[in-house]
Amino acid sequence: MSKLLEARALCAFYGATQVLFGFDLSIEEGGITTLLGANGAGKTTTLRALCGMVRTTGDIRFDGKAIRGRATEDIVRLGIAHVPQGRGTFSRQTVEENLEIGAMTRSGRAAIDADIERVYGYFPRLMERRRQQAGTLSGGEQQMLAVGRAMMLRPRLMLLDEPSFGLAPLIVEELFGILRTLNQTEKVSMLVVEQNAALALDLAEEAYLIETGELVTSGPARQLRDDENIRRAYLGY
Amino acid sequence: MELFLHQVLAGLATGGIYACMALAVVMIYQAIDHLNFAQGEMAMFSTFIAWQLIQWGLPYWLAFGATIAISFVAGVAIERVVLKPLHNAPVLSHVVAFIALLAILNSAAGFIWDYTIKSFPTPFGNGPLFEQGLMSKHDGGMIAVTLLMLAFLYLFFRHTRIGLAMRAAAANPESARLAGIRVGWMTALGWGMAAAIGSVAGMLIAPVVFLEPNMMLSILLYGFAGAVVGGLTSPGGAVLGGFLVGIVENLAGTYIPVVGREMKLTIALFIIVAVLCVKPSGLFGRPIVTRV
Ligand SMILES: Nc1ncnc2c1ncn2[C@@H]1O[C@H](COP(=O)(O)OP(=O)(O)O)[C@@H](O)[C@H]1O
Ligand SMILES: [Mg+2]
């Protein structure tokens, strides 16, 4: 398998404060990779760094192209869809408008309409609420909308920041099932940030564990799951 | 009762001016999330450009169209050159930039065209619209153009992709970027459109108040009042708010003895403060429904 995204010596800064301290990260084409770590470890910052949303040093390559230092809009247009922490809902716009916004970089009315229907196929509840203001949706529905919006980009890579956050277990199960389907049938590669390590290690093939902006360990998800010391010390289960 | 109706009608006429300006105010507020204090001066400067074009012999409607185009480009340029560098600066820096822009445009207009009052032509004619007077043909034309612009904006924002992209960029810039929307250009586009709408407002207002560098000072305040009444987020609300302010102003001038002509401007300020106290989201502003 080839690497879809590769970051080397990744550092990130908020003003003068350094938050990431130079680690390497790579994402397999077609695979699901998870990035784990405690609250404040730098997971969100890592995703933001990959999308050019914070000041970053190091080298980031997407499909072989150097993307570090490029504008977020341009990185997104290469086919990286970022489902941000907090879901990034356009709360005043309708559900359908949110999906339209997700396809803003594309042209071709028919293909966009077909993709909206495709999203509704995955998330029938969004279809029921298509004319509703997105701010009125429940947390789970908003998370589905965020994933749907990301799908509208027809991305090659999806970055998901704590998609399970604040959702009821049943909804989480449904959502992760759909992520798995998207990965398998639509060939979307994924980097999933999670605090719920058990869940993420179940979904992903590869895993990275970071602590205060530094890499603790990485490897096949199965290996991390089976490592009692890691599990006790970092994953808390 | 007759006096009352007359005053309402006369209020609608002046309200048309405010509605027009309020529309420009809301446009920019949507794009940048705060008020642009230089907006009146931008409209004034555009109107001078139109006046100059007409002086040079251009037919009215050609000058009208050219002024809209020039103002649009200038609005985009102002955003790119003056405000883009301030992109991450605190709001106060923006306010300072607006005030500087206001002062520069005001004195530049005074320098180029001097401070003498100039008359500006109306394409609608000066006669009364109805038998009884009160509303002139020009007032009627102004209201019609304002409503036309409103319809155009409605269609643009509700039914075009670029309109949706602009709304997305204004509502949630970070999320919009993640959808690949070029937020900076959307803001610039908002400035361009606000400048264009402002130029129309200026050209329609000038025949009534006469053209001079300070013509927009009080009108911008009324425009703000109209926009605040309308809720700052809704173009339709802004237009309604503008008309309401015009009517209230006229009625107050007639029925409240102390108000008179000199105190009229205070009405605008009073309306702004009153609305902000009682209903901060404005009469027609959509309150956001959020569930967490
Ligand atoms: N906007 C910001 N400005 C300054 N520091 C920040 C900002 N956002 C996050 N941080 C800091 O960066 C570190 C990593 O944060 P984050 O990436 O959000 O962690 P995680 O997503 O793993 O919980 C934390 O110490 C946090 O306090
Ligand atoms: Mg986080």
Residues B176 and B183 sit within 8 Å (Cβ to Cβ): yes
In A, which residues are within 8 Å of B178 by CB distance?
51, 72, 76, 81-82, 84, 88
Which of these, A118, A122, A126, A46, lies nearest to A82 by C-alpha position? A46
Hey, what CATH class is B2-124+133-278 in? mainly alpha
Long-range contacts of B64-72 (CB under 8 A, 24+ apart): B64/B123, B64/B200, B64/B203, B67/B199, B67/B203, B68/B196, B68/B199, B68/B200, B69/B196, B70/B46, B70/B199, B71/B42, B71/B46, B71/B192, B71/B195, B71/B196, B71/B198, B71/B199, B72/B192, B72/B193, B72/B195, B72/B196
| pLDDT, tens only, B158-172 | 899 999 999 999 889
User: Would you call A67 helix, strand, or coil by DSSP?
Assistant: coil
Which of these, A160, A166, A197, lies nearest to A178 by C-alpha position? A160
Report DSSP letters for B176-243, one per residue: HHHTT--HHHHHHHHHHHHHHHHHHHHHHHHHHH-B-TTTTHHHHHHHHHHHHHHTSS-HHHHHHHHH
A88 to B172: CB separation less than 8 angstroms, yes or no: yes
Residues B24 and B223 sit within 8 Å (Cβ to Cβ): yes
Which pLDDT belongs to residue B92?
86
Residues B233 and B30 sit within 8 Å (Cβ to Cβ): yes
Q: Does B84 touch chain A (CB under 8 A)?
A: no
Cα(B280)–Cα(A208) distance, integer angstroms: 48
Instruction: State the Cα angle at B147 between B144 and B149, rounded to 5°.
Output: 110
Residue B59 CB: number of other CB atoms within 10 A? Answer: 11
Q: Which of B178, B181, B183 sits opposite A84 (nearest CB)?
A: B178
- The residue whose CA is least distant from atom 17 of ligand 1 is A42
User: Would you call A137 helix, strand, or coil by DSSP?
Assistant: coil
Cα(A212)–Cα(A22) distance, integer angstroms: 11
A93 to B175: CB separation less than 8 angstroms, yes or no: no
Buried b (16+ CB within 10 A) or exposed e, A136-149: bbeebbbbbbbbbb
Half-sphere exposure of residue A224, counting CA atoms within 13 Å on the CB side? 30
Buried b (16+ CB within 10 A) or exposed e, B202-236: bbbbbbbbebbbebbeebbbbbbbbbbbbbbbbbb
User: Would you call B57 helix, strand, or coil by DSSP?
Assistant: coil
Strands A206-211 and A214-220: antiparallel
Q: Report residue A148 as tokens.
A: 């749907």
Please report, for residues A80, A96, B117, the alpha-carbon distance to residue B164 in angstroms, rounded to integers and kept in the order given. 21, 11, 42
CA of A141 to the centre of ligand 2 (A): 20
| pLDDT, tens only, B172-206 | 999 999 999 999 999 999 999 999 999 999 999 99
Ligand 1 cavity residues, CB under 6 Å: A 14, 17, 19, 37, 39-45
CA of A16 to the centre of ligand 2 (A): 20
In B, which residues are within 8 Å of A108 by CB distance?
none
Residue B116 CB partners (closer than 8 Å, separation 6+): B212
Which pLDDT belongs to residue B29?
84
Cα(A216)–Cα(A204) distance, integer angstroms: 18
Cα(A5)–Cα(A27) distance, integer angstroms: 5
Please report, for residues A6, A57, A121, A213, the alpha-carbon distance to residue A67 in angstroms, rounded to integers and kept in the order given. 10, 11, 33, 21
Cα(B89)–Cα(B34) distance, integer angstroms: 14
| Sign (positive or negative) of CA dihedral B247, B252, B254, B260 | negative
| pLDDT, tens only, A103-148 | 999 999 999 999 999 999 999 999 999 999 999 999 999 999 999 9
| Sign (positive or negative) of CA dihedral A161, A165, A169, A175 | negative
The list of chain A residues with pLDDT below 70 reads 1
* ipTM score of complex: 0.94
DSSP conformational letter for A41: S
Residues B237 and B284 sit within 8 Å (Cβ to Cβ): yes
Which pLDDT belongs to residue A64?
93
Residues B231 and B60 sit within 8 Å (Cβ to Cβ): no
Q: What is the fold, at CATH topology level, of the domain defined by A1-79+157-163+188-237?
A: Rossmann fold (3.40.50)
Cα(A227)–Cα(A87) distance, integer angstroms: 32
Q: Does B291 touch chain A (CB under 8 A)?
A: yes
Cα(A190)–Cα(B21) distance, integer angstroms: 49
Residues B140 and B157 sit within 8 Å (Cβ to Cβ): no
Residue A7 CB partners (closer than 8 Å, separation 6+): A23, A24, A25, A26, A49, A50, A58, A59, A60, A61
Instruction: State the Cα angle at A74 between A12 and A102, rounded to 5°.
Output: 105
Which pLDDT belongs to residue B250?
84
Q: Which of B179, B182, B286 sits opposite A102 (nearest CB)?
A: B179
The list of chain B residues with pLDDT below 70 reads 131-133, 259-262, 286-292
Q: Provide φ and ψ at B161, rounded to 5°.
A: -70, -40
- The residue whose CA is least distant from atom 21 of ligand 1 is A44
Cα(A144)–Cα(A22) distance, integer angstroms: 33
Residues B137 and B13 sit within 8 Å (Cβ to Cβ): no
In chain B, where are the structural domains located? Answer: 2-124+133-278
Half-sphere exposure of residue A90, counting CA atoms within 13 Å on the CB side? 28
B164 to A93: CB separation less than 8 angstroms, yes or no: yes
Residues B68 and B165 sit within 8 Å (Cβ to Cβ): no
